Amino acid sequence: MHIQIQCCGIVLMLVLFYFYMRQKRISLNTQKAFLSVFWATFICIAVDILSIETIKYQHIFPELFVKFAAKSYLVTLLGVALSALAYMYVDIYTREDIHRQKMRKYLILAGIAVLGTYAVPIHFHYAEDGKSVMYTHGPSLYVTYGMALVFFVTIFYLLKKEKAKINPRRREAVCIWLLVWIASSQIQFMYTEILIVGYAGSIGIMVLYLKLENPETNLDRSTGLFNSGALYQYTRQLYAMDEDFSTLVILFENNAYQNVPLKKRDRIRMEIAEYLLKLPDTLTFKAAEDEFFILFPDTRSAEEKTSEIRKRFQSGWGEGSTCLVQPCWLYLPHSNVVDQAEDLLYLVRYHRQGSKEFSDSDFLSIGEDSVAQMNQERETEQLILEAMENNRVEVYYQPIFSTCEQRFTSAEALTRIRDKEGNIIPPGVFIDIAEENGMILRFGEIVFEKVCLFIQKHPPEQYGLHYIEVNLSVVQCAYEHLAQDYISIMEKHSIDPRYINLEITESASTNAKRTLLDNMETLIKYGVHFSLDDFGTGQSNLNYIVDMPVELVKFDRSMTNAYFENQKAKYVMDAAIHMIHGMNLQIVSEGIETAEQYQTMEDLEISYIQGYYFSKPLPENDFIHFLENRH
Ligand code: C2E
Ligand code: MG
Ligand code: MG
């Protein structure tokens, strides 16, 4: 009987351990649990060797000792099964106290099984006639195998039941590990001369190591800092353990490297990473290409170190410290303003996107207010999503009066959403958020489709309307498939395009403007008309009127109101009216609330009037009644 296979297992594990210890690691509970499985397997193989040798040389050793060694091997098998179970529980329940509590009953069961294993008899068979045969049998084995089976079945059960909570890579690795064990014990059962269970255990450990416990998978290769996966696992663990910590995020937006030549950037980033790596009592993670997270155990050290780091950045990097890097800083003094790692990461994303808040300074401290705002926006996001999914997007119509025809000749479609309780939410609450997260594309289509259905149901000319104005968001304007999508919707509902007037506002970027112009060209060819909305708010200026093929210019409420309050505004509006009329375009004045305001606008030869003076935006049916009564 040879023990070479077992020895190979021992060597393999020692090599793995060498690599494991050489790597830079963070203290993760799962890694501690992995080490337990590792040592349990290692001891199991070592005791296996001892047991084989004592059985082989049973004539030298006292019988009691030989039996003790054989039973100890069985007990170590239980240890492996138990540590594997603990390894699963750590992943499911990150909180240490909970997984300890969950493991307690299995520990008691294991304790009883250990006592049972030592108490009942064991027999072994050994013969070396041609090929060596060795096996143990007897009640001691049944106790151990029975209990190990309970543990393995529990692991399989957990893998299935807690699927959602277990990291999928861990599930896969543990499954492979268990299958290797089961297959090897099956082989050993059939061919008693091959004692491979111990070796299979070490192969299993190698699978776990390679698939998930290799500390290198937590490292960013280029900088040697911990990576985003490690950040998530580690912060998840800190939250699970209710540990408050402080975070500093360094954001290397493009403008951070204003005077750093492109070629040098990588070297500078390495230098920064090396500096951060050496900071004592901190953990630094490279969460994304341009985002470093530094975690501090408490606010006092966080504040001291933050000012130290910022000072270091002021003194420049690279050769002769000539390169200044000016990143943005996000500082979170207390991690417990949010409840979980996902929210912490979301919070940073959220503040990055809203980087307008950085406009005045490059340092932003996140407190409860910012979190409240973020949560509010998340709720709104949810509200929009639910409204879209459950057909709770509504369209109201505000009539527009023609001063020439002295009747209502058009209307503006204005959206609202209804929440679960039936309350109406105005667009001011959700349009910006829908624009930020891109939902506005789908949302805009829903509104447009509803307007088309309305036109289909109530042909506008029956009510004296020439067209319906529909708002387009800047995000939609910059979407290259907008024209095609809107044309498809009109075709689907057989809508004559002359009934549609789309309101645009000014886009900031030239690229977006180019796409908008392409969209407009296609839609105008199809027969749709355009207005320029929000004139006088800074969203739209005279230049834009010159460049854009619009037929109507809509004066924003703030502009018309200023006309009545401010002499300067009056001059501006008079000049604007003159110029717009000069370009042969017509004007809609929004926000007209009184007869006096109406009269003034009419005297200024404004073609169309929109405002509460006539009507607020109305739900579909009310709007139809309004038109029927007025005509
Ligand atoms: P807007 O396109 O400039 O629409 C005019 C807004 O002024 C409407 O507010 C309207 O109710 C309000 N208004 C009209 N007359 C008066 C008045 O006499 N007094 C006062 N105090 N307000 C008046 P609403 O419906 O809350 O819409 C606000 C903004 O939301 C719209 O401004 C538009 O930019 C956006 N919006 C509304 N519906 C949509 C939509 O379907 N898509 C997109 N992208 N934006 C929309
Ligand atoms: Mg509008
Ligand atoms: Mg407007």
The predicted model gives 326-340 an average pLDDT of 93
For ligand 1, is residue 612 a contact (CB within 6 Å)? yes
Which ligand 1 atom is the nearest neighbour of the CA of 396?
A: 25
Ligand 1: which of 397, 471, 475 to mutate, judged by most atoms within 8 Å of the beta carbon?
471
What pLDDT sits at residue 345? 92
Ligand 1: which of 394, 431, 452, 472 to mutate, judged by most atoms within 8 Å of the beta carbon?
431
Confidence band (pLDDT; 50, 70, 90) for 130?
low
Ranges assigned E (strand) in 189-307: 226-227, 246-251, 283-288, 291-296
Distance 111 CA to ligand 2 centre (A): 74
The predicted model gives 238-260 an average pLDDT of 87
Angle between helices 368-389 and 427-436 (to 10 degrees): 90
Which tokens belong to 294?
Answer: 């530094």
What pLDDT sits at residue 360? 59
For ligand 1, is residue 170 a contact (CB within 6 Å)? no
What pLDDT sits at residue 129? 65
SS3 readout for 252-268: CCHHHHCCCCHHHHHHH
Distance 471 CA to ligand 1 centre (A): 9
Which ligand 1 atom is the nearest neighbour of the CA of 476?
A: 44
Ligand 1: which of 590, 609, 615 to mutate, judged by most atoms within 8 Å of the beta carbon?
590
Strands 328-332 and 246-251: antiparallel
Q: What is the pLDDT of residues 375-388, one digit of tens each?
A: 898 899 999 999 99
Distance 41 CA to ligand 2 centre (A): 70
Is 406's pLDDT higher than 60?
yes
Q: What is the pLDDT of residues 261-304, one digit of tens each?
A: 777 888 888 999 999 999 999 999 999 988 999 999 999 999 99
| Distance (Å, whole) CA 393 – CA 343 | 28
For ligand 1, is residue 561 a contact (CB within 6 Å)? no
What pLDDT sits at residue 359? 59
The predicted model gives 391-409 an average pLDDT of 97
The predicted model gives 76-101 an average pLDDT of 87
Integer angstrom CA distances of residue 271 from 264, 278, 331, 502: 11, 11, 22, 53
* Of 242 and 384, the one with more pLDDT: 384
Closest protein CA for atom 2 of ligand 1: 471
What pLDDT sits at residue 602? 96
Closest protein CA for atom 25 of ligand 1: 414
Q: What is the pLDDT of residues 169-219, one digit of tens each?
A: 888 888 888 888 888 888 877 776 777 888 888 999 998 898 888 888 899
Q: Collapse the DSSP code of 424 into the 3-class scheme (helix H, G, I; strand E, B; otherwise coil) and give the result.
A: strand
Integer angstrom CA distances of residue 368 from 332, 335, 353, 380: 10, 10, 18, 18
For ligand 1, is residue 533 a contact (CB within 6 Å)? yes
For ligand 1, is residue 557 a contact (CB within 6 Å)? yes
Distance 414 CA to ligand 1 centre (A): 6
What pLDDT sits at residue 150? 93
What pLDDT sits at residue 428? 96
Q: What is the pLDDT of residues 98-119, one digit of tens each?
A: 888 889 999 999 999 999 999 9
Taken in order 491, 493, 494, 500, is the CA torsion positive or negative? Answer: negative
Q: What is the pLDDT of residues 506-563, one digit of tens each?
A: 877 778 889 999 999 999 999 999 999 999 887 667 788 888 999 999 999 999 999 9
Which tokens belong to 617?
Answer: 């935006």
For ligand 1, is residue 614 a contact (CB within 6 Å)? no
What pLDDT sits at residue 306? 95
The predicted model gives 227-231 an average pLDDT of 93
| Distance (Å, whole) CA 428 – CA 430 | 6
Query: Phi and psi (nearest 5°) for 177?
Result: -60, -45
Closest protein CA for atom 33 of ligand 1: 471
The predicted model gives 143-167 an average pLDDT of 89
Q: Which ligand is nearest to the CA of 431?
A: 1
Which tokens belong to 44?
Answer: 């199991």
What pLDDT sits at residue 131? 64
For ligand 1, is residue 91 a contact (CB within 6 Å)? no
For ligand 1, is residue 422 a contact (CB within 6 Å)? no
Name the residues around ion ligand 3, CB cutoff 5 A.
533, 554
Closest protein CA for atom 37 of ligand 1: 414
Is 354's pLDDT higher than 70?
no
At which residue do the structure tokens 């780091």 appear? 309
pLDDT cut 90: percent of the chain above it: 64
For ligand 1, is residue 594 a contact (CB within 6 Å)? no
Query: Phi and psi (nearest 5°) for 467?
Result: -165, 170
pTM of the model: 0.72
Distance 421 CA to ligand 2 centre (A): 27
For ligand 1, is residue 227 a contact (CB within 6 Å)? no
Q: Which ligand is nearest to the CA of 597?
A: 1
Is 95's pLDDT higher than 60?
yes
Q: Which ligand is nearest to the CA of 534?
A: 3
What pLDDT sits at residue 195? 77
What pLDDT sits at residue 434? 95
The predicted model gives 483-502 an average pLDDT of 97
What pLDDT sits at residue 384? 97
